[in-house]
Chains A and B, each alone.
Chain A
Amino acid sequence: AQTVTQSQPEMSVQEAETVTLSCTYDTSENNYYLFWYKQPPSRQMILVIRQEAYKQQNATENRFSVNFQKAAKSFSLKISDSQLGDTAMYFCAFRGTSGSRLTFGEGTQLTVNP
């Protein structure tokens, strides 16, 4: 079974600075997908970014980018130029190709301070 681990329960960053959230996972599959979801206080789950394991290039979406290290089974999220609206719980998630379920990490609560 796949497992996803986020070792940072809480993090904080000053507005306009850069922060990196960590995620590691365990799987025996070779092809899979990784995601970062954001859950603000409104509790809506919002997809931030996704990465296909077969792609070597790290995914980027505006201020959000990932550092995908397949051999190390690591998938960190970097947020540049942090904004107050980035304050949220961030979840790392894994989806294998043999099934459609998402396996989530425990989440990291990010607070952006003015």
Chain B
Amino acid sequence: DTAVSQTPKYLVTQMGNDKSIKCEQNLGHDTMYWYKQDSKKFLKIMFSYNNKELIINETVPNRFSPKSPDKAHLNLHINSLELGDSAVYFCASSQDTVEQYFGPGTRLTVT
């Protein structure tokens, strides 16, 4: 059973397009996250939701919009994609155990 899953795993698209990445966790966790890993492998938090409520919103262009329809899902929608958005995007979840469990990542390539 996959604990944290993301779709798609690879996404290639052109500048200016709008795309979404979906994340689902079956761990029963209350908190979910989106992280961005850039070309130098640096990982940085983008957003966090707790029980469908936004609790962390880092300095991210407003072209990025997270949506949490329920506590098991956290999707990331990106408008007007730019070359600099190319990265690996990781979804993660956690509960009181503190550890964050990561999805497999989505490699986004903007051409």
Contacts and interface: CB of A to CB of B under 8 A. Distances in A.
Given A43-B88, A43-B104, A100-B56, A50 B41 contact: no
B103 to A, nearest CB: 8
The range of chain A's interface size is 20 to 34
A33 interface: yes
Interface of B: 31, 33, 35, 40-45, 48, 50, 55-56, 88, 90, 92, 94, 98-102, 104-105, 107
A101 B99 contact: no
Interface in A23-77: 33, 35, 37, 39, 42-47, 50
Residue in B40, B43, B90, B101 with the greatest tally of chain A CB atoms within 10 Å: B43
A95 interface: yes
B42 A101 contact: no
Given A100-B55, A100-B94, A101-B48, A44 B102 contact: yes
B33 to A, nearest CB: 7
A44 B90 CA distance: 9
Given A33-B98, A44-B104, A101 B56 contact: yes
A113 B111 CA distance: 36
Nearest to B94: A100
Contacts of A42: 104
B53 to A, nearest CB: 12
Contacts of B99: 35, 47, 50
